Amino acid sequence: MIYTLTLNPAIDRELTVTEVQYDSVLSAVKSQVDFGGKGFNVSRLLKSMGMPSTALGFIGGRTGDRLRSGLQALDIATDFVVISGETRTNISIVTEKHDHYIKVNEKGPLVEESSQRELLDKIASIAGPGDWWVLAGSLPPGVPDSFYAQIIAILNEHKAVTILDTTGESLRLGCEAKPFLIKPNAEETHKLTGLPVETTAQIVLAAKELLKMGAQNVVISMGKKGALLQTADESWLVHSPKIQEKNPIGAGDSMVGGLVWALSQGYSLKESLGWGAASGAATASMSGTEVGSRALIEELFQQVTYEAL
């Protein structure tokens, strides 16, 4: 079974206008609502691949109800902890030509310690050997930086397998709990290690430093260049297929989705990252917030190349 965890989800509302003008009333020519959260994006990609998953996290209020209903309408199972606050709403205003935008993200509701404990207990009750867990995204107010590390410790105890995709101090502490795999980008890797990441050789050294911090395996996403896989024994550069990029937002989450799908099917880490690269490229080639289809992902997977370092 695959589980995805999104601790600070949101309803993302995008309004399209002809042009951005300050101190005036703007009329939207188009509006779109999406269910925001890195873990949710992973679940959507898994759904596209025909793989069920269960989405967990914190939700609250009418916004939270709308989010849960929306995911269930997409045939994604949910098992949320309901909190007293209101799930956040993020607003984007973009121009029709996509040359300007304004994005305002709410911090999210305060999550009380009792709700945090409820989620930890829930995870402990459902985690089982061989399950795959994707822990992704930022932490909401009230949740300590050590929370992902606490979850990883529980999952390790139950012999489940963890992929961690977060940033900053929560990533550093999460590494200490020894997750199976982490997926920072190059910039996040630089911030965490303090090492330069201008060249591939430098990124390899930085990835090895992340292994020393506790992660069992490291994938560093490098945008159009592809991604680096660093294990205890091997370094691989996975080159993404060439596409006509339309919207890169969510491509990194699709990479994680393709990666965990392939791992759950028994592919090697190298091949699984190839599926991840194909999944990310497929989503980046789609308009709006669509994720890549299985047919497109399978086609692009044939174009992925691997370079041993």
Which amino acids are annotated catalytic?
A: 253
Give the type of residue at 236.
W
Is residue 196 within 8 A of residue 190, CB to CB? The reply is yes
**Helix (H, G, I), strand (E, B), or coil: what is residue 196?**
coil
Going by C-alpha positions, the residue among 156, 162, 120, 143 that lies closest to residue 263 is 162
Token pair for residue 145?
């930086």
Residue 77: which H helix or E strand, with range? strand 77-78
287: left (phi over 0), alpha (psi -120 to 50) or beta: beta
Is residue 272 within 8 A of residue 259, CB to CB? The reply is yes
Is residue 160 within 8 A of residue 129, CB to CB? The reply is yes
Half-sphere exposure in the Cβ direction for 159 (13 Å, CA): 3
- Give me the sign of the Cα torsion angle 256, 226, 49, 45: positive
Cβ atoms within 10 Å of 204's Cβ, excluding its own: 19
Q: What is the radius of gyration, based on Cα positions, of the chain?
A: 19
- Give me the sign of the Cα torsion angle 55, 105, 32, 289: negative
Cβ atoms within 10 Å of 267's Cβ, excluding its own: 15
Is residue 172 within 8 A of residue 178, CB to CB? The reply is no
